[in-house]
């Protein structure tokens, strides 16, 4: 049992809110749900839609063709004709006309405002879900009396088409990737989150700012991204765990200080939520085209870690892990997501657990040297304010105390120290269980290799078409030996990625991993399940 | 009870020119720290710098330090103070460093009233990069990037800081070490954002010792009231960083207490 529903309307008409409320209701009935939010970069007008798919099985993708289309305005009818099948059930605004469509009153609480209550009412009745299942959500809205009467009127205006029954008494948890990242960071010991607003990373800033008191953290929104990252480095230097969040353009502004984090060996976590570029690009749409930028950003040679979660559960886990890794190795850690991961709603099971690992700390004996040469390349940490020592960090090449040097031997010695640290990181990371995931049909000789938020759609398609899926979650240091081991006996390897130039395949080729074909999508939209399946079936 | 004086010198080789204004500024600061150490332990000080000749100061002074990027010491300092409000955080920055590359950070730190001190080594030239014009160079300054003089007039950093909400605004002169020491002490003790523009001759590219020795006068020897914003502002406008024929006030222009960013955040 599964259905795919599109709800369309003007920006600011509460379409996203309707999708969120419906997802809540259907997850309460025990179903798995995935919501892709498609909206333009504007506040009012334009065209928004949510694409919702729910199922009794675990799903994490949407289809391009909908079983139900709810068009709350005339433009939505025209916009979604291409998404309709012959048997699609259409519900349109009572003022509009379309052959075979059900007409319903999509009323607003005030002119030009949210239609979410009426949409929810219509949808629940259509699916044969009792009115009471949606009522608590309606009653939690502002102007609840008005919303309730609109909801009831809408519910009673249409007839049942489906009969969706309660699946279990267990209510499934809903989470966006961005919420998961925020919670993961907090459970990894985050003290201060610093960010300048930029879609699609801003929801992390909003969530943490709203809940900072309960979460016991501080949140700062400074003058620009350059300030953001330098502030975060100051926070880490003083001994508190910091994290920043941005998208490609903001990260571009941060790259000078990324290199500083590498040179000064200051722990830092950067959440980079990719959107369709280049430049300002298509701000509210998705892409995986900052991959090579994130792997190589920053001048000079320095170690870094790049992690790429595929869904909300992995986003939570890797965000928490990112905080610990940054402090374990005193390096910048990039958490590479995208709009699909960040803003989509997932049914996710997350058992929150605080996990803050103690970093390598100075033992308090003798003189303190911030950049002490050690066997593993990692120098013990101490923080300013510690009696009888000075803690000196610097953007210049330096000696063990942190004093500027230019002498050839000393310069090489410190480069070697950081290389040693890179080796320590590599040995640790590539042996982590989660470095690569093997999904789909693990025995198959036909392989799809992909990364990031393609997880859900690729795994579903692979299960149906009998492909094995290889997906690295650690992109730097790259677990290429393990990937090679997994494709050794493959007869066919297909790449799947959201980048016009095929950045992921280029990354693989750097390590001598070749694919037979690469399926690329770069229109700002995620892969839809039916679309990807037909593309895969061509090979 | 007297606190044992710690040696503030790291032993690093000092590479400033003989008679560089940086020496006067460093002496004034070291002197101020020793006097403040009676109440503030040495380990509570954190000094930062940007990039330029001034920046070397953090290599020379044996206190906690963060040798930051060009123009970026101020946001880094803000982060340090936010993470540990017990620390006394002082930024050494250059005029090109903070009035050009990092001006947005300076304005916003003043706007926030974050409890840090910013000391500008204002030699009114880019010196480490061998002599280009700077935001406070006079328009007749012939630098390597403006060999026929600058087509721009200098900015007035004191007026900018006052307009931005700085709660402590002062100007010192690296040639008057005792006077500068007192200003720096007051700035560090000030609760809130404190800003000190230090006129600092550069013997290599813009030697202004004669100008400042001749034209400066001390505000505390006048009836100036630093709690009066309007008076502070008009004092800030007395010298426009361009002319050589007007008197140049030095001392504390403005001082007022307001809640800090760390208290409000």
Q: A221: nearest CA in chain B? A: B265
On whether residue B15 sits in a domain, the answer given is no
| pLDDT computed for residue B75 by the predictor | 98
> CB–CB of A235 and B80 under 8 A?
yes
- A384 CB neighbours in chain B (<8 A) are 43, 46, 64, 80, 84, 87
- CATH code for the domain of B149: 3.40.50.970
Q: How far apart are CA B233 and CA B160, in angstroms?
A: 10
- B92 CB neighbours in chain A (<8 A) are none
ipTM value greater than 0.85: yes
> CB–CB of A227 and B108 under 8 A?
yes
**pLDDT < 50 positions in chain B:** 1
Q: Tokens 């909908």 belong to which residue?
A: A66
Q: How many CA atoms lie within 13 A of A25 on its CB side?
A: 28
Q: How far apart are CA A398 and CA A371, in angstroms?
A: 8
| pLDDT computed for residue B243 by the predictor | 96
> CB–CB of A224 and B44 under 8 A?
no
- B51 CB neighbours in chain A (<8 A) are 395
| pLDDT computed for residue B2 by the predictor | 60
> CB–CB of A222 and B87 under 8 A?
no
> CB–CB of B43 and A392 under 8 A?
no
Helices (H), chain B: 21-36, 57-60, 73-83, 95-96, 103-112, 157-164, 177-189, 209-215, 229-236, 261-264
Q: How many CA atoms lie within 13 A of B134 on its CB side?
A: 30
- A395 CB neighbours in chain B (<8 A) are 51, 67-69
Q: How many helices (H) and strands (E) does chain B have?
A: 10, 8
Q: pLDDT by residue (tens digit) across B127-164?
A: 999 999 999 999 999 999 999 999 999 999 999 999 99
3-state SS class at A207: helix
Q: Which domains does chain A have, with CATH numbers?
A: 2-157 (3.40.920.10), 174-347 (3.40.50.970), 360-429 (no CATH), 433-537 (3.40.50.920)
Helices (H), A331-479: 339-343, 408-429, 455-465
Q: Say what the alpha-carbon torsion angle A246, A248, A250, A256 is, to the nearest 10 degrees.
A: 110
- From the CA of A343, how many Å to the nearest CA of chain B? 28
On whether residue B219 sits in a domain, the answer given is yes
Tally the residues of chain B: 265
* B46 vs A: CB within 8 A: yes
> CB–CB of A237 and B79 under 8 A?
yes
On whether residue B4 sits in a domain, the answer given is no
**pLDDT < 50 positions in chain A:** none
* A390 vs B: CB within 8 A: yes
Q: Are B174 and B198 in contact (CB under 8 A)?
A: yes
> CB–CB of B43 and A230 under 8 A?
no
On whether residue B8 sits in a domain, the answer given is no
Q: How far apart are CA A270 and CA A288, in angstroms?
A: 16
- B58 CB neighbours in chain A (<8 A) are 392, 394
* B61 vs A: CB within 8 A: no
> CB–CB of A235 and B72 under 8 A?
no
Range of the domain at B86: 21-260
* A253 vs B: CB within 8 A: no
Nearest residue, CB atoms, B87 vs list A256, A257, A385: A385
Q: How far apart are CA B103 and CA B90, in angstroms?
A: 17
- From the CA of B184, how many Å to the nearest CA of chain A? 21
Q: How far apart are CA B11 and CA B204, in angstroms?
A: 24
**What is the DSSP-derived secondary structure letter of residue A111?**
T
Nearest residue, CB atoms, A234 vs list B59, B65, B80: B80
Question: What is the number of structural domains in chain B?
Answer: 1
**b/e map B158-197, b = 16+ CB within 10 Å:** bbbbbebbbbbbbbbbbbbbebbbbbbbbbbebebbbbbb
- From the CA of A219, how many Å to the nearest CA of chain B? 8
**b/e map A405-427, b = 16+ CB within 10 Å:** beeeebeebbeebbebbbebbbe
- From the CA of B12, how many Å to the nearest CA of chain A? 7
* B83 vs A: CB within 8 A: yes
Tally the residues of chain A: 539
> CB–CB of A390 and B77 under 8 A?
no
């Amino acid at each position: 049992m599964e259905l795919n529903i599109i709800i369309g309307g003007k920006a600011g008409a509460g379409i996203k809110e309707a999708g969120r409320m419906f997802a809540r209701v259907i997850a309460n009935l025990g179903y798995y749900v995935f919501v892709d939010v498609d909206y333009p970069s504007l506040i009012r007008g334009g065209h928004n839609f949510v694409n919702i798919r729910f199922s009794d099985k675990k799903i994490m993708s949407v289809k391009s063709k909908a079983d139900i289309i709810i068009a709350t305005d005339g433009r939505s009818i025209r916009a979604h004709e291409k998404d309709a099948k012959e048997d699609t059930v259409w519900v349109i605004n009572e003022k509009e006309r379309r052959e075979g469509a059900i007409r319903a009153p999509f009323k607003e609480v005030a002119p030009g405002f949210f239609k979410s209550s009426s949409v929810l009412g219509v949808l629940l009745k259509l699916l044969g879900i009792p009115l009471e299942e949606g009522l608590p959500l309606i009653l939690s809205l502002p102007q609840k009396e008005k919303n309730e009467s609109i909801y009831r009127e809408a519910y009673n205006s249409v007839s049942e088409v489906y009969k969706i029954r309660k699946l279990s008494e267990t209510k499934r948890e809903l989470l966006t990737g961005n919420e998961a990242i925020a919670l993961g960071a907090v459970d990894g010991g985050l003290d201060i989150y610093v960010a300048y607003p930029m879609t699609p990373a801003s929801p992390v800033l909003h969530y943490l700012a709203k809940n900072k008191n309960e979460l016991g953290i501080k949140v700062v929104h400074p003058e620009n991204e350059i300030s953001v990252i330098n502030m975060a480095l100051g926070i880490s230097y003083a001994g508190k765990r910091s994290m920043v969040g941005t998208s490609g353009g903001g990260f571009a502004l941060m790259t000078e200080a990324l290199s500083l984090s590498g040179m000064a060996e200051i722990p830092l976590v950067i959440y980079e939520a990719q959107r369709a570029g280049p430049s300002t690009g298509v701000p509210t749409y998705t892409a995986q085209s900052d991959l090579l930028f994130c792997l190589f950003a920053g001048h000079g040679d320095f170690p870094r870690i790049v992690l790429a979660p595929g869904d909300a559960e992995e986003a939570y886990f890797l965000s928490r892990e990112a905080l610990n890794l940054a402090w374990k190795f005193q390096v910048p850690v990039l958490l590479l997501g995208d709009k699909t991961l960040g803003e989509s709603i997932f049914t996710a099971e997350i058992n929150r657990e605080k996990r803050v690992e103690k970093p390598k700390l100075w033992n308090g004996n003798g003189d303190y040297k911030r950049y002490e040469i050690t066997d593993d390349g990692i120098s013990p940490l101490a923080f300013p304010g510690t009696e009888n020592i000075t803690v000196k960090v610097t953007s210049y090449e330096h000696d063990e105390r942190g004093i500027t040097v230019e002498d050839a031997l000393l310069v090489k010695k410190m480069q070697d120290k950081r290389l040693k640290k890179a080796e320590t990181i590599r040995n640790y990371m590539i042996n982590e269980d989660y470095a690569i995931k093997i999904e789909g049909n693990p025995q198959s000789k036909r392989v799809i290799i992909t990364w990031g938020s393609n997880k859900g759609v690729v795994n579903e398609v692979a299960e149906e078409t009998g492909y094995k899926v290889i997906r690295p979650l650690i992109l730097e240091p790259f677990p290429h030996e393990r990937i090679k081991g997994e494709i050794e006996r493959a007869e066919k390897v297909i790449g799947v990625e959201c980048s016009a130039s095929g950045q992921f395949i280029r990354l693989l080729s750097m390590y001598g991993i070749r694919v037979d074909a690469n399926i690329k999508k770069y229109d700002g939209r995620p892969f839809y399940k039916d679309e990807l399946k037909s593309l895969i079936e061509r090979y | 009870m007297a606190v044992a004086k710690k040696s503030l010198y790291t032993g690093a080789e000092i590479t400033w020119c003989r008679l560089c204004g940086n020496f006067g500024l460093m002496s004034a600061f070291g002197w101020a720290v020793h006097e403040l150490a009676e109440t503030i332990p040495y380990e509570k000080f954190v000094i930062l710098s940007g990039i330029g000749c001034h920046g070397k100061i953090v290599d020379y002074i044996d206190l906690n330090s963060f040798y930051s990027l060009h123009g970026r010491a101020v946001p880094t300092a803000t982060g340090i103070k936010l993470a540990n409000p017990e620390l006394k955080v002082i930024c050494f920055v250059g005029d090109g460093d903070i009035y050009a590359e990092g001006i947005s950070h300076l304005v916003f730190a003043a706007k926030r009233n974050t409890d840090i001190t910013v000391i500008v080594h204002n030699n009114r030239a880019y010196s480490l990069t061998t002599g280009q014009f700077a935001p406070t160079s006079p328009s007749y300054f012939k630098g390597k990037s403006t060999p026929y003089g600058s087509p721009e007039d200098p900015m007035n950093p004191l007026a900018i800081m006052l307009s931005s909400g700085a709660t402590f605004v002062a100007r010192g002169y690296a040639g008057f070490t005792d006077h500068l020491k007192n200003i720096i002490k007051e700035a560090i003790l000030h609760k809130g954002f404190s800003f000190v523009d230090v006129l600092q001759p550069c013997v290599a590219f813009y030697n202004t010792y004669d100008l400042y020795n001749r034209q400066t006068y001390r505000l505390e020897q006048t009836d100036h009231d630093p709690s009066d914003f309007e008076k502070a502002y008009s004092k800030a406008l007395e010298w426009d960083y361009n002319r050589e024929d007007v008197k140049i006030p030095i001392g504390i222009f403005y001082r007022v207490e307001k809640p800090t960013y760390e208290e409000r955040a």
